[in-house]
Chain A
Amino acid sequence: MHRYPRWPIHLALLAISVVMLVPFYWVLKTSVTGENIFSYPPSLIPRAPHPFYYVDVWYYIPFARYFLNSVAVSALTVAANVALNAMAGYALTRDFAGKRVVLMLFLSCMMVPFQATIIPAYLITGRLGLLDSYLGLALPQCSTIVCIFVFKASFEAVPSALADAARIDGLSDWGIIWRIMLPLSKAAVATNVILSFIWSWNNFLWPLIVTRSADMQTLPLGLARFLSYQEDTTGALYAFCIMVLAPGILLFLLAQKEFIEGLAAGATKG
């Protein structure tokens, strides 16, 4: 039983949702009408919608190639994030000398923007011979501190008796991570997957620097290239935006329940 009626809250949330969704709707509408954003009076309902701007985008640039590159880099990033962050998060749940220093170091490193470390990151990637490769594109994002703390919070919530029992039964720390902790932390895994995917999918600066051939470019670079090619193509540009956004939105919709639970756990139990 609620002491107060809930409908005013729902009404307010609905209004806020509409305000936040209007830009997305506008992009979607423009992608099927090509209507100039400055046209007056603006029309809320699309007039004579058609899908041909999407066809234009598919053929104007090598969209399939860029899409494949983005998928490959994102898959590498997601796999590395889940594996490496889980190991780091588990380590931070254990007691060891200098743990507080490591935690402080992680927290302080979160304040350093990527732009400040991009030159050493480029030099390291170059020394490893990974420039212009999928692994080189994924490398700087293979572990993120926020996601490490999401795993740490989730692992700390697992009763220590479970890990102790597994250890008594002869399971190693590796086994405890993969067989005990991860299956019990699906929300944290989903959060890692979604965050690392979206960050990798939308990354522009690092692929811009590390790619040298057109064949290795990712979708955000393709968008920039598309803008430089086409001047008068509002509809195709918005269609491209939709095509770039769609996989991330789909992934979020698929795993939003686990994602929100994982973020909430990371926010309250860290």
Chain B
Amino acid sequence: MNQGMIHAPPDRPRWRRLLLNRFVLVPGALALVVALWNVYVGLHDHGLVAGRVADAAGRPVADATVVLWVLDFTTYVEKSRTTTGPDGRFVIHDNPSHNIQIGAEKTGVGRSTRIPVRLYFRAEDVTLRAPLVLSGGG
């Protein structure tokens, strides 16, 4: 019996025996990771979605309409829309979701495919790496 007992050296203080063992350190490390993650989430959950819109030749498209769809449990519904600036850039400020789609269109230039964007948490601030490319506008 008692094979499971851990006989600490006599010079080891009691607080070290109580605190520095795997039953405290592992949950403590996990709690620390969760706390840090929550801090990160708290600093990056403003619902900002930024990106660019370009035409088939790669030139920025001004005044294009950018639409945000969010997943409403089973289907994507339109949440908000904005227009691009002179440099083809846009920022959406009110994304509440973690599972969204982004698309853009402009009369005469064309329409982009809907780009699915998966986020690590709701309302995560994100900048799209690739531009939304408009095509098929004749």
- Which A residues are CB-close (under 8 A) to B118? 50, 52, 55
Cβ B1 vs Cβ A154 within 8 A: yes
Could you tell me which residues of chain A, from 46 to 78, have a CB within 8 Å of some CB in chain B? 50-52, 55-56, 59-60
Q: Which bucket holds chain A's interface residue count? A: 20 to 34
Q: Which bucket holds chain B's interface residue count? A: 10 to 19
Given the known interface contacts A50-B118, A55-B119, A55-B121, the answer about A257 and B4 at a Cβ–Cβ threshold of 8 Å is: yes
Residue B40 lies at the interface, judged by CB distance under 8 Å to chain A = no
Cβ A187 vs Cβ B122 within 8 A: no
Residue B15 lies at the interface, judged by CB distance under 8 Å to chain A = no
Cβ B2 vs Cβ A184 within 8 A: yes
- Which B residues are CB-close (under 8 A) to A187? 1-4
- Which B residues are CB-close (under 8 A) to A262? 4
Least distance between A67 CB and chain B CB atoms (Å):
12
For B6, give the chain A residue with the smallest CB separation.
A186
Q: When chains A and B are docked, how far (Å) is the Cα of A258 from the Cα of B21?
A: 14
Q: When chains A and B are docked, how far (Å) is the Cα of A125 from the Cα of B120?
A: 42
Residue A103 lies at the interface, judged by CB distance under 8 Å to chain B = no
Q: Which residues of B contact A (CB under 8 A)?
A: 1-6, 22-23, 26, 73, 98-99, 118-122
Q: Which residues of A contact B (CB under 8 A)?
A: 50-52, 55-56, 59-60, 154, 157-158, 184-187, 190, 229, 250, 254-255, 257-258, 261-262, 265, 269
